Structures are given as structure tokens and as C-alpha cells.
Chain A
């Protein structure tokens, strides 16, 4: 269960320091500039610069970066409204707070100022309390906005890195091709987390003597917590390798540490199969995985992959079986996203829907998975709610 406690500070300092803020005052009246400057001092602004017209103001803006600008609407050379429009045309200043002084006589509701892109208005004659409150408000807003943007950027970069780490757990095209060539198999794999990170995992094992192992696991949930579980699982596999073990034997061995590792309610559905090219068989064990499909001579057989998921109890009840896997046969292993996705009409695709797709796409040789996924794409409503993994192995 997820417990939501107090939010930790997102990123950077928690409170704004006005002493570190820079404000530019643009006003043609020297008296007004001095009054406004006084108000800024009372707020505690660390650096206050002044310009006497819009042109000068623009030059200063270009030279220094400011946190807020206080602008008079009517000025010689370049008036405040025009300067404000120029500011908003520059992408870097899109979010710069612009407070515009206006008089009730010229622009009663400040409509002209807002149309020019002002963040807020201060009506003349200027009330010190109101002016200071608005300056504080907009600086704080800017501060939190920047904090949030920084946090987003950092999170985005972190997730991008984490995603490439997760992708590196999955066999890449070169490894897939090499394993395929060694075992005279055509192997295709697809891995697509629904968020930046996912709870799916699959890999191949070279077991010697013309035997290739295929493991596919799907951790409950998706996103970061499920992804962390895939990393734990990967470590576990390194510690308890499958070599020399029968499928059910190995999954039972993986189950025990997973049971200790995972909290109640978290688990992994799992399929592990050994393709023996010499014997022409597929031996497998499964723990609550979606039924893999075996295609041969135009016929599709659904394999029973039911079983208690790994990590639930100390004695998992797995399904284990050995079935013929002759030349020309294909095995499709997939995550539940493929059958739990809705079609564009809002109906569950289901096992029946996938069966139809396989019957339609698998005849006709190579690139079966590519054809299946292309057909799935035209059918399924995007974005998918869960991670999508699919592996297709054919004996050539």
C-alpha cells in the first residue's frame, strides 16, 4: 500500500530569498523611480536597477537577467506597452513577471496592459502595501515555478538515464541475432514501458547442447517501483543461474528470495521455457503468465501458463509441461498489456482478439512479431495502460 506523507522539498532551496532577487524599474518620472525603489528596498530586494524609458529598459534587460520588472505604461521613446510586447516576443522572457503601472483614467481595468502581456497591474496612485504585496507574490510565483521546472528537468534526465539502464537489462538486437544464429532460431523481441520505466523483463540464456532458455517476467504495477523490482530480479538471476536446472525447479528457486524481498501485494508473473532444437521440444514452467501461443502449420495452440505468481507464497503452484516444438513452429510470449488493452471501440482485445491477430499475421514467414505489432497498433487504443513486452521465437 502506498502511504502518502508530507511532501519533501522538491528541489533546491525551500524558501525564496528576496535579497538574491534582481528587479528592474522602468519609469520616466524620477520621483516615481525613487518611490518604487524605496518600496523594493522594503521588500528586501537585493539589487534594484532603474531605466528612464523603454529603450533603456530593453538594453538593460538584454545585459542582465532580472527576476521581475516594474514598468510604467506611458513613457517617451518606447512606452511600457510596446516594451511589454517586445518582452513577450522573446522566448527567454515568456515567464518573466512584468508588473505594469497604469492609471484608471487611461486603462480602467488594465485590459491594454494584460493584452500587451503584463503579468499584473498596479493602479496609480500607487499604494505601498499593494505594490509590495504584488511584487512579493510574483517573485514567489516565479521562484516556485523555476523550482518546479528544475525538478521536472532533473527528474526527466534521471528517468531517461534509468530507462537506458533498464533497456540494457534486455537483450539488444546484436545479442538476439547472435543467439538466433547459434540456435538456428529466428528471434524477435519488443519491450515498451507504458511510463518512462516499466515492470517487464525478459532475457535469453544459452544453455548449451542446442538448448536456449527464454525468461519473461512481469512485476505487478508499473512505473518506478515495478522497475526497481526488475533490477532486483536481474540480480537474483545472476546469483541463481538457470544452467543445469529444469524450468519448474529454477522458478521455484527464484520464488523463495522473491517472497522475502517483495511486500504483500507485489509479485511477478513469469514464464520460463527451454527450447531444445535437437529434441524439437519446448519445456516450460509458468507462474500466472498470459497463455503463450504456439503457432504451427496455420494452427494456434494456447499453452497453459497459469500458476501462482512468484513472490506470493513459499510454495508456488506452477504449471510445467513439455510440448513439441518442430521446425517451422513459432512461440509467442507476451505481457498482459497485449490482451488487456482496449481496441479503439473501447472493447477489451482479450485472448480471442490476440488469437485472431496471430492467425492473421503469423503465416508468411519471417518478421512475424513485426507484423503482429503493426496489426496490434492499428487495433489498440493508445496510450497503453501497462508495459508491453512480446517475444517471438521461430524454428527455421
Chain B
């Protein structure tokens, strides 16, 4: 998995690409740190170039949410491809995150 983090006027923009799996935990720690430091009300994860996410990857989104919630920052999962969208759907992530097409 690769990621970029940008600061926006209302919060953060994170783009993820490649495969998000168990081995990306350490890397994702940096994204979580950025969320921790960020100001604003929304953190948008751009998933358009994310090819695959496994259960560990879902766990990482939950960790991000856990950090964002107390800061009243909402997490949006944007533009997931079909296969990733299906995994988010099975996990009913729309009940925890704002999932947008």
C-alpha cells in the first residue's frame, strides 16, 4: 500500500493505493498520527486507486475512526472500486463511516 496525506481547509485528504493488508500496519500508523495532529471536521480517504483491502485493512480504518471520533472529525471513504466497495458493504461500514461513491 502507498499513501499520501494532504491538509485541506476542512481537514485531511488521504489517498491510498495498491493493496492494504496486515503488513501495512506500521505505514498506516503515520496516517493515524496525521489524523491525530490534524485540525478540521473531515478526513477523506480517497480509495479510487486502492485495489484490495483485507480484514486487517478494515481494522486500520477502525483505528483511524477511533482517533478521529473524539476530535469530532468525520471519516469519509470515497470512491472505492467495486471489489473494495463489496468488502466495505459486507462489513456494513456505512454504519460507521460516510461511504461515498
Contact residues in A for B66 (Cβ distance below 8 Å): 264-265
CB distance from B40 to the nearest CB of A (A): 22
Are B54 and A306 within 8 A (Cβ)? no
The answer, yes or no, to whether A55 is at the interface (CB within 8 Å) is: no
As a 0/1 sequence over residues 310 to 352 of chain A, the CB contacts with chain B under 8 angstroms (1 = contact) are 0011000100000000000000000010001000000010110
The answer, yes or no, to whether B8 is at the interface (CB within 8 Å) is: no
Give the A interface residue count (CB, 8 A): 30
CB distance from A5 to the nearest CB of B (A): 13
How far, in angstroms, from A365 to B41 measured CA to CA in the complex?
A: 57
Contact residues in B for A267 (Cβ distance below 8 Å): 55, 58-59, 62
Are B55 and A350 within 8 A (Cβ)? no
Are A269 and B63 within 8 A (Cβ)? no
How far, in angstroms, from A308 to B86 measured CA to CA in the complex?
A: 14
How far, in angstroms, from A250 to B79 measured CA to CA in the complex?
A: 35
Are A2 and B25 within 8 A (Cβ)? yes
CB distance from B60 to the nearest CB of A (A): 7
The answer, yes or no, to whether B56 is at the interface (CB within 8 Å) is: yes
Contact residues in B for A101 (Cβ distance below 8 Å): none
Are B59 and A220 within 8 A (Cβ)? yes
Given contacts A218-B55, A265-B60, contact A385 B83 (CB under 8 A): no
- Identify B54's interface contact among A266, A317, A336, CB under 8 A: A336
- Identify A336's interface contact among B25, B29, B55, B92, CB under 8 A: B55
Are B26 and A221 within 8 A (Cβ)? no
- Identify B56's interface contact among A220, A288, A351, CB under 8 A: A220
Contact residues in A for B56 (Cβ distance below 8 Å): 220-221
Given contacts A264-B66, A385-B21, contact A307 B92 (CB under 8 A): yes
The tally of CB-CB contacts under 8 A between chains A and B is 67
CB distance from B90 to the nearest CB of A (A): 5
User: How would you classify the secondary structure of chain B's contact residues: helix, strand, loop or mixed?
Assistant: helix
The answer, yes or no, to whether A53 is at the interface (CB within 8 Å) is: no
The answer, yes or no, to whether B45 is at the interface (CB within 8 Å) is: no
How far, in angstroms, from A306 to B83 measured CA to CA in the complex?
A: 15
As a 0/1 sequence over residues 41 to 65 of chain B, the CB contacts with chain A under 8 angstroms (1 = contact) are 0000000000010111011101100
The answer, yes or no, to whether A290 is at the interface (CB within 8 Å) is: yes
Are A317 and B90 within 8 A (Cβ)? no
Contact residues in A for B55 (Cβ distance below 8 Å): 218, 220-221, 267, 269, 309, 336
Which residues 23-45 of B have a CB within 8 angstroms of A?
A: 25-26, 29, 32
How far, in angstroms, from A306 to B99 measured CA to CA in the complex?
A: 16
Are B22 and A312 within 8 A (Cβ)? no
Contact residues in A for B59 (Cβ distance below 8 Å): 220-221, 265-267
Residue positions of A touching B, CB distance < 8 A: 1-2, 218, 220-222, 264-267, 269, 288-291, 305-309, 312-313, 317, 336, 340, 348, 350-351, 385-386
Name the 9 nearest CB pairs between A and B, nearest first.
A265-B59, A220-B55, A265-B63, A288-B91, A264-B66, A306-B90, A308-B92, A220-B59, A317-B95
Listed A/B pairs (14) with beta-carbon separation below 8 Å: A2-B25, A220-B55, A220-B59, A222-B22, A264-B62, A267-B62, A290-B90, A308-B95, A308-B96, A309-B58, A312-B62, A340-B54, A348-B52, A386-B54
* Besides A220-B59, A265-B60, A309-B55, 10 new A-B residue pairs in contact (Cβ under 8 A), listed by A number: A1-B25, A1-B29, A2-B26, A220-B56, A221-B56, A267-B59, A269-B91, A308-B91, A308-B96, A312-B62
